[in-house]
Structure 1
């Protein structure tokens, strides 16, 4: 008799919801039984595997993970701040690696928080609040977090008020000594926005690094790069990647001027 498979296996279907920023979709991964991709207005924002938080589909998230792991060889974070939540990919990973860490996620879209919390909730409790990332940082205590992960976008760009020297100084104030700032940046050739962002962060932090794929860093194609600041570790690079620091980063910035608040 022919088999018809496991009749008790639930059929996963995409979940669609209206959110403050438009239309969100949670799409199941047919290749992984508990894998989901979050799309907002048709653009992939996050990927999570509920069974394996260490399975990371996006290259820049793997870079963030390697940076955190490299920093964590010599420290254990007690407090982690995430600016931007998405499907909580990085908070789930942090909970796997450092289950004792207290995590706070600031996400600007309350409807997206509700969707993710309802459909694919994290295995471990994570504090999630709706609000503006800059306002949350300005209210945070001095040296309040060991790790800050900034991954905030409106469409395909970082909000302008999060890309200034004044905000970078607030991040430096909130980061504990020996802590690490990890910031996702997306850009297109010739990477002018990234050069400005590196100069902006360097105006507030003594030590800065830039991790990314070589074609992106060289301005040959669009993509994501990861700005690191604070106690920047020697991050292992994958094939086709570079970690720029010190003199190489000065050359990359090419004299770009830091961005200031519009009213300053």
Structure 2
């Protein structure tokens, strides 16, 4: 059996109980690989033959941050809040084998669908937790991570209890001193939700004694109203004297044309 084929008898669809949406795994006839579709939206893309092939630009930017923050191929401890098709978890295993990974997903049926149809890379150390991201992270009292990835936001329909300074403070408290919190914020052309999240995360970082928020995005989203995603980054790692070199690496890695805003530029861009 070729690595890009479904496992024999693999489940290819599921009805999600929390959102009451159907989920499917379908072949991507354009980019290759497989797509997780939830309702009418393409949620994730997976390339089983090359887990480092990231189609969605915001995931590529997140991966660029992870690539630079720790020595190459060093295993890290990372929590993913929101599972999707486990695309970033596959990337971490491919680039940092032996990393201890935790995924928190509220849709009980989703991880089973994904891991059955699209097996994880061999040797992946992955703990799957079913439940609300805030509740389950709170239950991990005493656990610390090098990185936490929050990927549950979709504009003003996002879970309100996660879109707050209070939750960001809780997440930051679960990071090592040189850790990183990466937040994917999808929003519509008005970017009102995004601006609110920048302010909430900035306030949380300030209260935690950290430097401000960095932003990685498609450059045009900063000047032309459009639906899109931006990646917000906060955490102790950003106090590294190497952060200037990291910024250059993030810009060079793309996708292009991209923009990387430091905390001062982020505050100016979003009206602080």
Class of the TM-score when normalised by the shorter of the 2 chains: 0.7 to 0.9
Q: CA RMSD in A?
A: 2.5
Q: Structure 1 residues 147 and 10 mapped into 2: Cα distance closer, same or farther (>3 Å)?
A: closer
> Structure 1 length as normaliser, TM-score?
0.85
| 2:16 pairs with one of 15, 19, 35 | 19
| 2:262 pairs with one of 245, 248, 264 | 245
> Structure 2 length as normaliser, TM-score?
0.83
8 Å CA contact 2:75, 2:96 repeated in 1: yes
Q: Give, in whole Å, the separation in 1 of the partners of 2:56 and 2:96.
A: 21
Q: Cα deviation per residue 1:57-92 (whole Å; 9 max; x = unaligned)?
A: 111111111111121248945311000001100000
Q: Give, in whole Å, the separation in 2 of the partners of 1:108 and 1:180.
A: 23
SS in 2 for 1:53: coil
| 1:88 pairs with one of 69, 86, 89 | 86
Q: Structure 1 residues 11 and 160 mapped into 2: Cα distance closer, same or farther (>3 Å)?
A: closer
Q: Structure 1 residues 154 and 14 mapped into 2: Cα distance closer, same or farther (>3 Å)?
A: farther
- Figure out how many residues of one structure are paired with residues of the other and give that number: 246
Paired residue for 2:223?
A: 218
Is 1:189 the equivalent of 2:226? no
SS in 2 for 1:242: strand
Of Structure 1 and Structure 2, the greater helix share is in: 2
8 Å CA contact 2:146, 2:176 repeated in 1: yes
Structure 2, unmatched stretches of 5+, are none
| 1:45 pairs with one of 43, 46, 55 | 43
Task: Note the 1:92-241 alignment, pairs <5 A.
Answer: 92-123=90-121, 124-142=124-142, 144-153=144-153, 157-205=157-205, 206-207=210-211, 208-230=213-235, 231-232=237-238, 233=243, 234-235=246-247, 236-237=250-251, 238=254, 239-241=256-258
Structure 1, unmatched stretches of 5+, are 1-8, 256-264
